[in-house]
Amino acid sequence: MRLRNSLTGNKEVFFAEDNHVSVYVCGVTPYDITHLGHAFTYTHFDVLVRYLRYLGYRVTYVQNLTDVDDDILRKAKEFGKNWRLLGEKNADRFLEDMKWLGNLQPDIYPRATDVIPDIINLAQNLLTKGWAYEKNGNVYFKVYSYTPFGRLSKLPEDQWLIVANERGNHPQDPNKQNPIDFVLWQSAREGEPSWPSPWGMGRPGWHIECSVMSMKFLGSPVDIKGGGADLIFPHHECSLAQSECATGEPLARYWVHTGMVRYKGEKMSKSLGNMVFVKDLKELGPNATRLCLLNHHYGRTWLFDEDEKKKATEQAGLFQEVWRRQSGHGSRLAPEPYEKRLQDALADDLDTPATLRIMQDLSTDILRDDSRNVADAKGLLNLVCTILGLEIRYGG
């Protein structure tokens, strides 16, 4: 199998030592319900995990929950709700949506608040080694002390602050030595949750949470680390920097990122009023909804529209018709040519759109002649449906 590595920009042959693969995918901050972008990311990583297991690898899949963060605290204050209760409610809804979509539960599903002592230890490690500084109970990473900063995102230096500011950075923070420095630990604010630390009461910064959970549960380097493309900068860039400074080892061997979902000509955004939520697609059923997502390559940005729903519904109907098809007793429909094409498509950077096109060809062939023995051909189709997480339903 070849995977596109965001760090190098190239498709690279995937390998893992001892036949074991560690996968860490950045999870949601549960300040709202599950939207189509979430579904796109986690469904494709579900397929990647399923495919790795099909290839014979032992996979440990970790997906975190960022349960304390600026966004969730802001949303809780806006609605006058307890931050933890709001997060737990939305996390439960997210997990229900993932189950409905057919996504397997990750092997480990840690919360940021589960690892506060480990976060404090990592921040102290970076302070001791000179990569960070403390002021007024806040601890910051010195970005310009790490000269390779920016190598994951390839973002020009003059864009760092602009993009970081759009994604949660506070450049006017008077405690910072440089506006681009990012917080590892921030001092307690009135009305916000806090924990004791060597620097006083406070809570973790966003980027350090994932570094800690990745290293704690999977070690370093992790084989595959990923998430949506909007996390590349600053979140994954910062995670990479602080982790490598702390351990002297790469944080990940392969960085894998999913594309953005657009709707009505724009990236989905609450401010634009163009959000599509998983609940809006439940009338399609899980198979058709899943097909809407898998008809697009994981690494490419795409535009969702009504034609997507029609196409996916037709595909789901075609596969359902094949599942109901009784095998004849005539000549055998040989699946081997299709099997080679399907293997090649999946091995080529998990090309699910090509895989589905080949499955359609196979399905059409199966239905062409009622007299043929299609048992082996149906078996192949069912195998690939299992890899893609499509529910096989026999009968009506």
pLDDT at 295: 98
Looking at the structure, tell me whether residues 248 and 318 fall in a common domain.
no
Contact 360, 367 (CB under 8 A): no
Looking at the structure, tell me whether residues 46 and 191 fall in a common domain.
yes
Residue 280 resides in a domain: no
Query: Among residues 119, 125, 106, 91, which one has the least CA distance to residue 216?
Result: 119
**pTM of the entire structure?**
0.96
Report the domain count for the chain. 2
Looking at the structure, tell me whether residues 199 and 341 fall in a common domain.
no
Residue 5 resides in a domain: no
Long-range contacts (CB closer than 8 Å, 24 or more residues apart) made by 380-386 = 380/335, 380/338, 380/339, 380/342, 381/319, 381/322, 382/323, 384/342, 384/346, 384/355, 384/359, 385/319, 385/359, 386/50
pLDDT at 314: 96
pLDDT at 120: 98
From residue 233, alpha-carbon distances to 163, 229, 236, 237 in Å are 7, 8, 6, 6
In three-state secondary structure terms, 259 is coil
pLDDT at 327: 87
In three-state secondary structure terms, 391 is coil
Residue 209 resides in a domain: yes
pLDDT at 94: 95
Looking at the structure, tell me whether residues 41 and 122 fall in a common domain.
yes
Looking at the structure, tell me whether residues 349 and 250 fall in a common domain.
no
Residue 327 resides in a domain: yes
Number of separate helices (H) and strands (E) present in the chain: 12, 13
* CATH number where 323 lies: 1.20.120.640
Looking at the structure, tell me whether residues 253 and 318 fall in a common domain.
no
How far apart, in Å, do the first and last CA atoms of the chain sit?
A: 37
How many other CB atoms sit within 10 Å of the CB of residue 269? 11
pLDDT at 270: 66
* CATH number where 41 lies: 3.40.50.620
Peptide bond into 234 cis (omega under 30): yes
Tens digits of pLDDT across the chain (396 residues): 999 999 999 999 999 989 999 999 999 999 988 899 999 999 999 999 999 999 999 999 999 999 999 999 999 999 999 999 999 999 999 999 999 999 999 999 999 999 999 999 999 999 999 999 999 999 999 999 999 999 999 999 999 999 999 999 999 999 999 999 999 999 999 989 999 999 999 999 999 999 999 999 999 999 999 999 999 999 999 999 999 999 999 999 999 999 999 988 777 776 667 789 999 999 999 999 999 999 999 999 999 998 999 999 999 999 999 999 888 889 999 999 999 999 999 999 999 999 999 999 999 999 999 999 999 999 999 999 999 999 987 543
Residue 26 resides in a domain: yes
Q: What are phi and psi of 31, to 5 degrees?
A: -95, -5
Alpha carbon distance 40, 326 (integer Å): 34
Looking at the structure, tell me whether residues 110 and 227 fall in a common domain.
yes
Residue 284 resides in a domain: no
Residue 117 resides in a domain: yes
Looking at the structure, tell me whether residues 20 and 148 fall in a common domain.
yes
Looking at the structure, tell me whether residues 333 and 252 fall in a common domain.
no
- Paired with 228 in beta bridges are 258
In three-state secondary structure terms, 349 is coil
pLDDT at 396: 38
Last residue in a domain, options 263, 298, 323: 263
Full residue range of the structural domain in which residue 347 is found: 306-396
pLDDT at 83: 94
How far is it between the farthest Cα atoms of the chain? 81
Alpha carbon distance 186, 201 (integer Å): 9
Looking at the structure, tell me whether residues 253 and 327 fall in a common domain.
no
Residue 271 resides in a domain: no
Alpha carbon distance 381, 363 (integer Å): 8
Last residue in a domain, options 229, 263, 297: 263
Looking at residue 127, its amino acid is L
Looking at the structure, tell me whether residues 150 and 223 fall in a common domain.
yes
pLDDT at 293: 98
Alpha carbon distance 76, 352 (integer Å): 38
Q: Residue 203: which residues within 8 A CB-CB, separation 6 or more? A: 68, 185, 186, 188, 192, 193, 194, 195
Looking at the structure, tell me whether residues 257 and 323 fall in a common domain.
no
